[in-house]
């Protein structure tokens, strides 16, 4: 059985009942970083997540029963760390063979070259006999562009990837057969990049190798796999349904991050195939003051922490919303999550960001000005606002006006509430 067969039989099991072992294995196979695995992730999402509104409702109903989590920790050896929102981050060490690092700093402890430079990475490209011809050319050019814009980029994962990676050219049919995707796929576990040479261009190569490879990595050290990924795996507990499951959170932001890196590496201004996700990531990180370089280092887990510090009450909701959007759009099942609206996600996000600040009496004009600048910093003219079809869209300029108006309304409501209280 190849990976796809295994996944499909697991999905069947998952759909049938509450097979926890199946969900675990599926979750680990989802980790492999391929586009295809995101597609495979879709059936789980559809069974648990019907729409963005439902996402928020569902998340609130996931009861984090510490007692049950403790049971699972004992029974299955999950290392659960409460991250709030009724979610636990799981450090999966089931087979005691893979260790998941929390940050690039933690990963750094396991490698020979702790702080590689751009020159080191360039050398690694030249020394890798599998990276040749136009692939070598595109990567070197991409690296030069990154160096100009992001001189402080943490290259520890990328260096390991470039050093170990082999490029495998396959046909369009083989690619679809193997990983259900088109173009290219980076598999850090295998240390391979599958490429369909008839389709790829410099954007695709830089997206896979630089965009993902900058913060998705696995190495073998003392018979143990050491992994770091910017997206994260969490355990959630739906106590009402007596169901425990794993959820892979932030795979959409992983794509957004890969495109943000690739835009810089290829000097693209119009955005790549994951521009919606890149836009959401930009808004989350700019609002919370996280530079792209830090997102790469600390990943979705770091973003969730910082969002919470920035008074975002339900950070996971927003990330899962983007995940849902990505899954639905990419699998072309437009009518499934029919409220997958970037528009509503962004409105709720900014109101969430502002509400506590209003209560604390912070300067509203300053906050509004910050939001205004973030929304004007967009490369978007329009964004998705579809009720039934994601093609419906709203003008970014209009969205900005509406968000600012809604914040004023929120302010009025808060003030009249305070008056009543007095
Ligand atoms: Zn990708």
Q: Residue 66 C-alpha to ligand 1 middle, in angstroms?
A: 35
d(CA 101, CA 52): 30
Residue 213 has pLDDT above 50, yes or no: yes
Q: Residue 98 C-alpha to ligand 1 middle, in angstroms?
A: 23
Q: What is the mean pLDDT of residues 367-388?
A: 81
Q: For residue 324, what pLDDT is reported?
A: 74
pLDDT single digits (tens) 28-66: 222 223 332 333 233 233 222 222 222 222 332 233 334
Q: Residue 161 C-alpha to ligand 1 middle, in angstroms?
A: 15
Q: Residue 281 C-alpha to ligand 1 middle, in angstroms?
A: 14
Q: Residue 53 C-alpha to ligand 1 middle, in angstroms?
A: 26
d(CA 374, CA 284): 10
Residue 345 has pLDDT above 80, yes or no: yes
Residue 365 has pLDDT above 50, yes or no: yes
272 and 263 in contact (C-beta within 8 Å)? yes
Q: For residue 17, what pLDDT is reported?
A: 31
pLDDT single digits (tens) 271-310: 788 888 898 999 999 999 999 999 999 998 889 889 989 9
Q: Residue 212 C-alpha to ligand 1 middle, in angstroms?
A: 7
Q: For residue 419, what pLDDT is reported?
A: 66
Q: Residue 35 C-alpha to ligand 1 middle, in angstroms?
A: 6
Q: Residue 211 C-alpha to ligand 1 middle, in angstroms?
A: 8
Q: Residue 203 C-alpha to ligand 1 middle, in angstroms?
A: 11
Q: For residue 99, what pLDDT is reported?
A: 78
Q: Residue 184 C-alpha to ligand 1 middle, in angstroms?
A: 9
- pLDDT category at 269 given cuts 50, 70, 90 is confident
Q: Which residue has the tokens 């119009």?
A: 270
Q: CA-CA distances (angstroms) from residue 277 to 139, 179, 226, 245, 325?
A: 23, 22, 27, 25, 9
Q: Residue 364 C-alpha to ligand 1 middle, in angstroms?
A: 38
pLDDT single digits (tens) 83-137: 555 555 555 444 457 777 889 999 999 999 999 999 999 999 999 999 999 999 9
With CA atoms as reference, report the closest residue to 116 among 145, 150, 158, 146.
Answer: 158
With CA atoms as reference, report the closest residue to 33 among 198, 177, 209, 283.
Answer: 209
Q: Residue 420 C-alpha to ligand 1 middle, in angstroms?
A: 52
Q: Residue 403 C-alpha to ligand 1 middle, in angstroms?
A: 31
Q: For residue 384, what pLDDT is reported?
A: 65
Q: Residue 258 C-alpha to ligand 1 middle, in angstroms?
A: 6
Q: Residue 139 C-alpha to ligand 1 middle, in angstroms?
A: 16
Q: Residue 355 C-alpha to ligand 1 middle, in angstroms?
A: 35
With CA atoms as reference, report the closest residue to 160 among 193, 191, 205.
Answer: 191
Phi and psi torsions of 139, nearest 5°: -65, -40
Q: Residue 242 C-alpha to ligand 1 middle, in angstroms?
A: 34
Report the Cα 339 to chain-centroid distance in Å. 20
Q: Residue 87 C-alpha to ligand 1 middle, in angstroms?
A: 26
Q: For residue 250, what pLDDT is reported?
A: 83
- pLDDT category at 178 given cuts 50, 70, 90 is confident
Task: State the chain's mean pLDDT as an integer.
Answer: 74
Q: Lowest mean pLDDT: which of 182-186, 206-210, 218-222?
A: 182-186
d(CA 57, CA 164): 44
d(CA 391, CA 276): 12
Angular region, 330: left φ>0, alpha ψ -120 to 50, beta rest: alpha
Predicted model pTM: 0.76
Q: Residue 224 C-alpha to ligand 1 middle, in angstroms?
A: 26
With CA atoms as reference, report the closest residue to 30 among 251, 331, 228, 191.
Answer: 251
Q: Residue 329 C-alpha to ligand 1 middle, in angstroms?
A: 15
Q: Residue 36 C-alpha to ligand 1 middle, in angstroms?
A: 10
Q: Residue 289 C-alpha to ligand 1 middle, in angstroms?
A: 24
Phi and psi torsions of 290, nearest 5°: -105, 115
Q: For residue 118, what pLDDT is reported?
A: 98
Q: Residue 123 C-alpha to ligand 1 middle, in angstroms?
A: 25
202 and 143 in contact (C-beta within 8 Å)? no
Q: Residue 207 C-alpha to ligand 1 middle, in angstroms?
A: 6
Q: Residue 354 C-alpha to ligand 1 middle, in angstroms?
A: 32
d(CA 220, CA 48): 35
Q: For residue 261, what pLDDT is reported?
A: 97
Residue 335: other Cβ atoms inside 10 A: 10
């Amino acid at each position: 059985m190849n990976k796809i067969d295994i996944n499909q039989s697991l999905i069947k099991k998952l759909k049938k009942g509450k097979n926890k072992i199946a969900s675990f294995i599926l979750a680990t196979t989802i980790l492999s970083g391929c586009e295809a695995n995101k597609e495979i992730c879709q059936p789980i999402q559809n069974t648990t997540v019907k729409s963005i509104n439902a996402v928020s409702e569902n998340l609130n109903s996931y009861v984090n029963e510490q007692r049950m989590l403790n049971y699972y920790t004992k029974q299955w050896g999950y290392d659960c760390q409460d991250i709030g929102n009724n979610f636990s981050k799981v450090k999966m060490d089931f087979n005691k063979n893979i260790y998941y690092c929390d940050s690039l700093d933690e990963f750094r402890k396991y490698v020979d070259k702790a702080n590689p430079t751009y020159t080191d990475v360039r050398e690694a490209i030249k020394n890798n006999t599998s990276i040749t011809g136009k692939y070598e050319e595109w990567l070197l050019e991409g690296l030069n562009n990154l160096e100009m814009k992001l001189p402080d980029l943490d290259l520890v994962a990328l260096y390991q990837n470039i050093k170990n990676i082999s490029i495998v050219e396959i046909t369009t049919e083989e690619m679809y057969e193997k990983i259900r995707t088109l173009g290219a796929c980076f598999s850090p576990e295998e240390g391979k990049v599958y490429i369909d040479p008839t389709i790829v261009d410099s954007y695709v190569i830089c997206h896979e190798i630089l965009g993902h490879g900058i913060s998705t990595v696995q190495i073998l050290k003392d018979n143990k796999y050491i992994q770091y990924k910017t997206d994260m795996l969490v355990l959630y507990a739906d106590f009402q349904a007596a169901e425990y499951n794993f959820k892979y959170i932030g795979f959409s932001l992983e794509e957004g991050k890969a495109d943000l890196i690739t835009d810089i590496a290829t000097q693209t201004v119009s955005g790549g195939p994951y521009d919606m996700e890149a836009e959401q990531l930009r808004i989350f990180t700019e609002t919370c003051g996280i530079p792209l370089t830090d997102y790469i280092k600390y990943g979705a887990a770091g973003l969730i922490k910082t969002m919470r510090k920035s008074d975002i009450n339900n950070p996971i909701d927003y990330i899962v919303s983007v995940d849902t959007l990505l899954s639905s759009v990419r699998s072309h099942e437009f009518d499934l999550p029919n409220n997958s609206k970037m528009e509503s996600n962004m409105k709720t996000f900014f109101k969430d960001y502002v509400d506590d600040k209003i209560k604390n009496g912070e300067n509203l004009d300053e906050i509004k000005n910050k939001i205004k600048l973030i929304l004007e910093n967009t490369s978007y003219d329009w964004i998705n606002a579809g009720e039934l079809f994601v093609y419906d869209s709203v003008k970014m300029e209009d969205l900005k006006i509406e968000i600012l108006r809604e914040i004023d309304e929120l302010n009025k409501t808060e003030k009249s509430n305070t008056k009543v209280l007095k």
